[in-house]
Amino acid sequence: MAGTLLAVDIGNAVVQVGLARDGRLLARWELASTPAATEDEALLALDGFLRAAREGLAAPLGDARPDEVARAAAERPADAALASVVPALTGSWAGAARRLTGQRPLVVGPGVKTGLRMGYKDPGEVGADRIADLVAARETYGAPLIVVDLGVATTVEVVDEEGAFAGGLIMPGLGLGARALAAEAARLPEVEVRAPEALVGRSTAEAMRAGIVWGEAARLDGLAALIAESLGCEPALVLSGKDAGLIAGLLRHEAAVDETLALRGLVRLHALNRKPR
């Protein structure tokens, strides 16, 4: 399908919106994920993103030029592709995208072609964001591969040497761990998740921050080593999500940070599932 494409990744904390043309992601925005957002509010957000892109307020990605982004944003989007892990919001954003494009958007879920061989017992259980991440990561980095998305949950996806999705791990994210400590331990405060001052904290807040952040880095280093051992090879390691930059610098393993993984995956999924017109 020719024309511009809106890619929308709806997460528990953040909604990412991207603008693409001819298979290239040109610009993106991040919005807070509002639990009770209406279709009208989602439409305002999409329209605001396009207006910002026209006015040069959405930074170009990669080799895209500002004038190229502005021209693409001036067109009515031809279609949209959505990945959502928040069922209560899927309808609002899908409805907004349909009103903006005049087309029913592609919503990632069971029945959508992915190009992936799935080793999951029930492929329908795999979150739409995990699918989008995997599709883009395999296309960009090849196989074997470990893809880590650091959001509300930390997800670890494994692609084997033959390019098949072998399965993954799901665990609490950094922010969720910090809030759980404060909620369940009466004398522990809630701390901001950021780079710790030192490996060993010298105050309660420093100790918590060190434990949460360094603990996550150590956990991922350990898992990467175990996964490599189980595969019998050394997979590439790719990090995405809001805490990716924080953790990548603390890992012993070499890791790429890719902030547009899910949006690029949506662009690719759209190409696989929509016939050109």
pLDDT tens digit sequence for 167-200: 999 999 999 999 999 999 999 999 999 999 899 9
Instruction: Please give the Cα distance from 58 to 55 (Å, whole number).
Output: 8
Backbone angles phi, psi at 45, to 5 degrees: -65, -45
Question: Residue 233 corresponds to which tokens in the numbers above?
Answer: 């090879």
Produce one character per residue of 50-63: b if its CB has 16 or more CB atoms within 10 Å, e if not: bebbbeeebebbee
Residue from 9, 79, 129, 160 carrying the catalytic annotation: 129
Picking from 91, 79, 5, 4, the residue whose alpha carbon sits closest to that of residue 41 is 91
What CATH class is the domain 123-263? alpha beta
Cα maximum dimension of the chain = 63
Q: List Cβ neighbours of 29 (8 Å cut-off, separation of 6 or more).
A: 16, 17, 18, 49, 52, 58
Domain with CATH 3.30.420.40 in the chain: 4-107, 123-263
Measured CA to CA in angstroms, residue 153 lies from 168, 184, 185, 222 at distances of 13, 18, 21, 18
- Is 129 tagged catalytic? yes
Q: Over 70: is that where the pLDDT of 277 sits? A: no
For domain 4-107, give the fold.
Answer: Nucleotidyltransferase; domain 5 (3.30.420)
Choose between 139 and 125: higher pLDDT: 139
Q: Residue 153: which region, alpha, beta or left (left: phi > 0; alpha: psi -120 to 50)? A: beta
* pTM, entire model: 0.91
**77 touches 5 (CB < 8 A):** yes
